[in-house]
Amino acid sequence: MTDLFDLTGRTALVTGSSRGIGRALVTGLAEAGATVVVHGRDASRAEAVARELGERTGRTAHAATFDVADATAVDAGFTEIEERLGGTVDILVNNAGIQRRAPIADFSDADWQDLLTTNLTGPFHCARRAARGMIARGSGKIIQIGSVQSQLARPSIAPYSATKGGIAMFTKGLAADLSGHGIQVNTLAPGYFATELTAALVEDEEFSAWVAGRTPAGRWGAVEDLVGPLVFLAADASRFVTGQTLFVDGGMTAVV
Ligand code: NDP
């Protein structure tokens, strides 16, 4: 039987993989055999992660730098990646994202726009560009990084929640458009994970303890917890799974 989780021969781009969750995801895909592209806006950081991955796996890992919010930059970035890889992207992970927190009465226009352009318009730009190559080839995987915040509300993050709720429905719409082309589109939705994005929450002892208590597994997630579910969604193992959201949250969204 072929290995349902083997990604040898596939190419994968993980947006925002220069640190945090994306870095763990791109590492997992590389270890499963994929040729990976590490991405972020900070070129030196993306290149350093690509170098480290290349040394670890013995295969070349590539680095790419563009702002997902800029459609022209996304198109140019994909073209450059395709030229370097000698083919199109097989697996796109729309991970790049930001967080902004404030009570709604104080929420600024600038923060609202930043959230929309990074967390929703960015995945649109990348999915549109990647879909062209995938449709031509008749196969592909698009995995979007959502959040428990698409299901569970908390104070001061309504706009962030709106973007992640949008992502979950964008995934279903993409599945409607692309399933007939042999492309699966799913959302991987993390619970709470300690990264730069959540640094202020980790430092807040009361909130940090609340997360552990509210999570049936009794702890914050470790970024490595996301790797197995991602490889499943990226591999042949999930070939009849599309339009779904897979929560990786220690049970947070399942249990009150
Ligand atoms: P980090 O802040 O640690 O990393 C974010 C990554 O995205 C960086 O690599 C950053 O690189 C990149 N990035 C941000 N904006 C852009 C942009 N406009 N264009 C290109 N790259 C960009 O965040 P996390 O790892 O915590 O989060 C990753 C994803 O997971 C996000 O979508 C987030 O919403 C989601 N998530 C996180 C949770 C958590 O608990 N941490 C929980 C649920 C969901 P650079 O700065 O170089 O551009």
pLDDT-derived band at 2, boundaries 50, 70, 90: confident
Average of pLDDT values for 198-227?
A: 97
On whether residue 254 sits in a domain, the answer given is: no
On whether residue 1 sits in a domain, the answer given is: no
> What's the confidence (pLDDT) of residue 180?
98
The pLDDT > 90 percentage for the chain reads 99
The pLDDT > 70 percentage for the chain reads 100
Domain count, the chain: 1
Distances (CA, A) of 142 to 47, 126, 192: 23, 10, 22
> What's the confidence (pLDDT) of residue 175?
98
Distance 146 CA to ligand 1 centre (A): 11
Measuring from each residue's beta carbon to the nearest atom of ligand 1, which residues come in under 6 Å? 15-16, 18-22, 40-42, 45, 67-69, 95-98, 118, 122, 145, 147, 190, 192-193, 195-198
As a three-state string, the secondary structure of 29-68 is HHHCCCEEEEEECCHHHHHHHHHHHHHHHCCCCEEEECCC
> What's the confidence (pLDDT) of residue 1?
56
Q: How far apart are CA 11 and CA 37, in angstroms?
A: 8
Distance 121 CA to ligand 1 centre (A): 14
Choose among 30, 99, 102, 97: nearest CA to 63.
30
> Which pLDDT tens digit goes with each residue over 55-86?
999 999 999 999 999 999 999 999 999 999 99
Q: Please give the residue range of the domain that contains residue 216.
A: 11-248
pLDDT-derived band at 88, boundaries 50, 70, 90: very high
Tokens of 170: 């964008």
Catalytic residue (one of 66, 78, 124, 160): 160
pLDDT-derived band at 182, boundaries 50, 70, 90: very high
On whether residue 255 sits in a domain, the answer given is: no
Choose among 50, 95, 103, 107: nearest CA to 187.
95
Other CB atoms within 10 Å distance of the CB of residue 59:
13
On whether residue 4 sits in a domain, the answer given is: no
Distance 180 CA to ligand 1 centre (A): 31
* Residue 220 CA, closest ligand 1 atom number: 40
Q: What is the pTM of this model?
A: 0.98
* Residue 119 CA, closest ligand 1 atom number: 32
For residue 87, what is the domain's CATH number?
3.40.50.720
Q: How far apart are CA 88 and CA 76, in angstroms?
A: 13
On whether residue 6 sits in a domain, the answer given is: no
On whether residue 181 sits in a domain, the answer given is: yes
Mutate which of 17, 21, 204 for ligand 1 pocket (most atoms within 8 A of beta carbon): 21
> Which pLDDT tens digit goes with each residue over 125-177?
999 999 999 999 999 999 999 999 999 999 999 999 999 999 999 999 999 99
Report ipTM for this prediction. 0.99
Distance 58 CA to ligand 1 centre (A): 27
> What's the confidence (pLDDT) of residue 226?
98
Q: How far apart are CA 33 and CA 215, in angstroms?
A: 32
Residue 192 annotated in active site = no
On whether residue 70 sits in a domain, the answer given is: yes
Q: How far apart are CA 42 and CA 70, in angstroms?
A: 15
Tokens of 182: 């042999």
* Residue 69 CA, closest ligand 1 atom number: 18
On whether residue 27 sits in a domain, the answer given is: yes
